[in-house]
Amino acid sequence: MTEEKRKLLEENVARVRLSMAEALRAAGCAEGSVLLCAASKTQDAATVRLAAGLDIDLFGENRVQELCEKSAAAAYGGKPLHFIGHLQTNKVKLVVGKAQLIESVGSEKLLRCVAAQAEKCSLFQDLLIEVNIGGEESKSGTAPAQLPALLETAHGLPSVRVRGLMAIPPAAAVPGASRPYFARMYALFEAAARQAGGNVSMEYLSMGMSGDFADAILEGANIVRVGTAIFGPRPPVTAK
Ligand SMILES: *Cc1c(COP(=O)(O)O)cnc(C)c1O
């Protein structure tokens, strides 16, 4: 059973890698210049452990409790771990120092909270600023217009290191619908690079999921977060 499952995951990862390579070729970029993040929400520790042995670069978790449980079970097999979900300030202490990168810092309040916790633990916390590129009420992330001010704030918080930007565009109704959002993110990423210096750099642009990672790569993503295309369909989301 486990061997069967491992094979299935391996085939899925190979398929994703092939599509990534095609997109990279089309974009004129070197193979291997995009990191594959396996979005492992709802996947149990045994499944994550299997995936850790495959050709993925890192894991992304959405929920603090899952991150803690799977970390404790040593499920990530030494691969880097990113936090990619909505982070409440009261759970920041559980994630700082445990996730190599917190991809989803989208407000000044959360940024300051992460910085305070990192300082308390005497460590530097790497993070990405999440941008609400579709301007959706339901999504977290900073408005594009607020990004310069947020980066300015980050300059004054030496316990955090801003490494780039992350976005989740509106759910695409038709294939290709995310692409203009990805293009806008890349323009923001380039503009934000002008504010780089000290503890702020623009190295990572995390965007693209199972349905649209090829489009994201064509528009300049260098981290894609892929769940369903690796692990298969997830059970419906349950209330927290
Ligand atoms: C679940 C999730 C993904 C992966 O979504 P799929 O469509 O399953 O590939 C990527 N990013 C975030 C933030 C997620 O929550």
Q: Distances in Å between the alpha carbon of 174 and those of 178, 215, 220, 221?
A: 9, 13, 21, 20
What are 105's two structure tokens? 């810092």
pLDDT along the chain (240 residues), means of 10: 92 98 95 96 96 98 98 97 97 98 98 98 98 95 98 98 98 94 98 97 98 97 98 74
Q: Say what the pLDDT of residue 6 is.
A: 95
Residue 28 Cα to chain centre, angstroms: 23
What are 129's two structure tokens? 């600023």
Q: Does 226 contact ligand 1 (Cβ within 6 A)?
A: yes
Span from the CA of 120 to the centroid of ligand 1 (angstroms)? 31
Q: Say what the pLDDT of residue 240 is.
A: 47
Residue 16 Cα to chain centre, angstroms: 17
Q: Which amino acid is at 171?
A: A
pTM of the model: 0.96
Q: Does 228 contact ligand 1 (Cβ within 6 A)?
A: yes
- What 8-state DSSP symbol labels residue 197? B
Q: Look at the domain 2-231 and name its fold.
A: TIM Barrel (3.20.20)
Residue nearest to atom 4 of ligand 1 (CA): 227
Span from the CA of 155 to the centroid of ligand 1 (angstroms)? 29
Q: Say what the pLDDT of residue 31 is.
A: 87
Dihedral sign for Cα 85, 174, 24, 184, please. negative
Q: Does 84 contact ligand 1 (Cβ within 6 A)?
A: yes
Span from the CA of 85 to the centroid of ligand 1 (angstroms)? 9
